[in-house]
Structure 1
Amino acid sequence: MSTITYQKLCKNHLHDEVLDKFNRYQKVSRCWRKQNDEWVLIDHPYIEDWDLEKKRNIVSELVNCVNNNGVVYGAIIDNTLIGFSCISADFFGKNNEYLELLMMQVSTEYRNKGIGKQLFKLIADSARQLGAKKIYISASAHSSEESQAFYRAVGSVDAVEINQVIARNEPFDCQMEYVL
């Protein structure tokens, strides 16, 4: 594998085609769901696969994050973006101590190589520098078993304080936090 470069991305990096080669494919078999106030794994097979339109929408969201003083980090091999993480700069919570992890993705063929962990570390360092005490994570992919395993492996736990707006928008996602 070629050398991976990690860098903070600015608007110049986030041109429309930056994700054209990104492979957001995930075959999910099981997801976490809350039943009787407990999280249980259920069979819920589906495939997550971004088309070009979805990739362009994601680029727009990343640009919007940067425009609003958020932080985006990228993992790059041979001038190709193979992973990214994005955190908002909008504080929330009763003590105004949370920042939201908006996105965290690694191209399928590069998963399980430590790239996601490094991107998470970089975004956590940025959140700390911005003054956050916690990162809020609405664990994505409808709380797939794999996504949950990743966030738990990096030290995330169930959120102490639930952001009701986020939870309503993502009703199947596990609401988690990472203490900085």
Structure 2
Amino acid sequence: MYTYKSMQKEDAHQLVQIDRSEEINYVYEMQDGKLIERNAGHECPSWDDTLMIELQERFVYELSHGGTALGAYDGDLLIGFGVLGHEFRGEQQDRLVIDLMYVSRNYRRQGIGTKIMDELSNEARKRGAKYLYVSSTETRSAVYFYKHQGCDLTNEVDSELFAKEPLDIHMLKPL
């Protein structure tokens, strides 16, 4: 059985244990407020050194400013994690962002991501959020995962997050 525990800034070095690789057959793009599916047919590799440094810096930044992270472990091996951002967003300042969310390739479709989302949703509720905001990668697997978690497309796209990753699919999950 897997264990779940809160992660600290000092745990950033563990992120290299996550295998983010996947075969990407389909991606989505937003067009006139609708999801359009496109064939992709390529393999997404795991992290290169530059991406890993960026990921670790983002992890440390969020946790340093009041965000929270939950890790899933198989023994001592980090197999999944999620980060709830620290900053309230939206016109009503009532949403918190799922800033990072990954489950290692060999551990997907076992409920690990769902458990992490449930725990981060509970934490967001405790902090007073009414919604989770998700800026999802455009892959079918990621979009399906978030839709299965209760997220729907939003017309209220966060301009800062959109500017960082304009291909992402932006969603809200009511809490």
Q: Which TM-score applies when normalising by structure 1? A: 0.90
Aligned counterpart, 1:12: 10
Please say if 1:70 is aligned against 2:67: yes
> Residues 39, 51 of structure 1: CA spacing in aligned structure 2 closer, same or farther, 3 A cutoff?
closer
Residue in structure 1 matched with residue 145 of structure 2 by the alignment: 150
Structure 2 counterpart of 1:159, from 137, 145, 154: 154
Q: Does 1:169 align with 2:161?
A: no
Output the CA distance in 2 between the equivalents of 1:34 and 1:162: 12
Residue identity opposite 2:27 in structure 1 = C
Cα deviation for residue 47 of structure 1 reads 2.4
Aligned length: 174
Deviation at 1:119, TM superposition (A): 0.5
Report if aligned partners of 1:19, 1:56 keep a CA contact under 8 Å in 2.
no
- Does the aligned pair in 1 maintain the 2:19–2:47 contact within 8 Å? no
Stretch deviating more after TM superposition (26-35 or 77-86): 26-35
Q: Does 1:111 align with 2:105?
A: no
Q: Distance in 1 between matches of 2:9 and 2:161?
A: 26
RMSD of aligned alpha carbons = 1.5
Does 1:42 pair with 2:38? Answer: yes
Does the residue aligned with 2:134 lie in a helix, a strand or coil?
strand
Local SS of the residue matching 1:19? helix
The 2-side partners of 1:94 and 1:19 are apart by: 33
Distance 1:179 1:21 in 2: 31
1: CA distance, partners of 2:48 / 2:75: 21
**TM-score normalized by structure 2?**
0.92
Q: What pairs with 1:15-34 in structure 2 (closer than 5 Å)?
A: 16=13, 18-34=14-30
Separation of aligned partners in 1, 2:48 and 2:76 = 19
Q: Counterparts of 1:118 and 1:37 in 2: how far apart (Å)?
A: 30
Note the residue ranges of structure 2 that are not aligned, 5 or more in a row.
none
1:33: how far off? 1.4
Residue segments in structure 1 that go unaligned for 5+ positions in a row: none
> What is the DSSP-based 3-state SS (H/G/I as helix, E as strand, rest coil) of the residue aligned with 1:24?
coil
- Counterpart CA distance in 1 for 2:164 and 2:42 is 20
d(CA) in 2 for partners of 1:150, 1:25: 16
The alignment partner of 1:99 has SS state of strand
SS in 2 for 1:20: helix
AA at the equivalent of 1:119: I
